[in-house]
Amino acid sequence: MKKLLLSLIFCVGFVAQLLAQQDPQFTHYMFNTLFYNPGFAGSEGVTKLTAIHRSQWLGYSPTFGGGEAPTTQIISMTTPINKLNSGFGAYIVNDRLGAQNNLEAQASYAYHLGIKNSKLSFGLRAGMFSQTFNYDLYRYVNPGDPLLKDKSGSETQIRPDLAMGIFWRKEKYYVGLSFNHLLRSTFDFGVAQRNALQTHVYLTGGYFYEVNFDLKFQFMTLVQSDFSKTSVNIGGIAYFKDTMWGGLSFRSSEAAILMLGYSLLKDKSLKVGYALDYVVQDQAAKQPTSHELLLTYELPVNPGSGKKVVRTPRYRH
């Protein structure tokens, strides 16, 4: 019985470390607002595709067990539904955390309400959240325990997920508030863990300042919390001729960040970005750098609409 208890404590403790932050983090949060707030769906007025790959603590190797450094990928799209004063968005996230892998597929709908020179959007998101555990990557205290005899290979469970959010934007300002994992779906892997998705709250905000026709600044923040731990991101980006950008950001008690990006094609519809996170806390338990790649593409506007879209970084959040 004592050996079984030690095995359970080991498994739960290891999983608890992995799940200290259930949702993945992205340095390019200002270009990935749909992930944080369903009210953002379609609010830009253009159809946009986004892809991000994140390699966290690159080169990290665990001192025991298996697995590698965390990696995360997201592919998303957002498009307006002009006839209904609304928008649609969807994304797929793959988040690998050692022996655990989280997979999300979510769809968002937002209704846009015009208020003078601003837009207020109400969004709802629904989808599925999948967790997979690879038991072969764990090192048990007592591998001969009879309760562990069937725990080999991998096991997957899928649960429903729900989120809601509100997003307000004006020409130079934007702010959003959202709540994720409202269903608090529970995963039960027996001896490995019993865990519920914790409700997360996200607060986003930003301000644009135009120095002249060629130079613009964006100041932004993201506050995220699961009501037991809170993380604050704050930073700024400079855009030159709407073609290239560079910026600095800071994630509270975790990392200092450098961001660079460039716009391609004649209409600047294709954008590539890179971010380098330098860990400033607990380096002994991590590798000092994380790396993130960003790719976005805006589809051409239908000529039949009779409207010409002027692209500006003011609407890239």
Question: How does residue 201 score in pLDDT terms, banded at 50, 70 and 90?
Answer: very high
Which tokens hold the place of 259?
């961001």
CA distance 121 to 119: 6
CA distance 224 to 206: 15
Domains within the chain, CATH numbers bracketed: 2-315 (2.40.160.40)
Mention every residue, 6+ apart, whose C-beta is less than 8 A from residue 22. Answer: 102, 181, 197, 198, 200, 226
Which tokens hold the place of 69?
């450094």
Residue 161 pLDDT greater than 50, yes or no: yes
CA distance 271 to 62: 35
Could you give the C-alpha distances from 164 to 101, 111, 192, 200, 290, in angstroms and in order? Answer: 24, 12, 31, 11, 30
Most confident listed range (52-61, 111-120, 278-287): 111-120
Per residue in 100-152, pLDDT tens?
899 999 999 999 999 988 999 999 999 999 999 887 777 767 766 666 666 67
CB 47 within 8 A of CB 119: no
Helix (H) or strand (E) holding 238: strand 230-240
DSSP 273: E
Residue 18 pLDDT greater than 80, yes or no: no
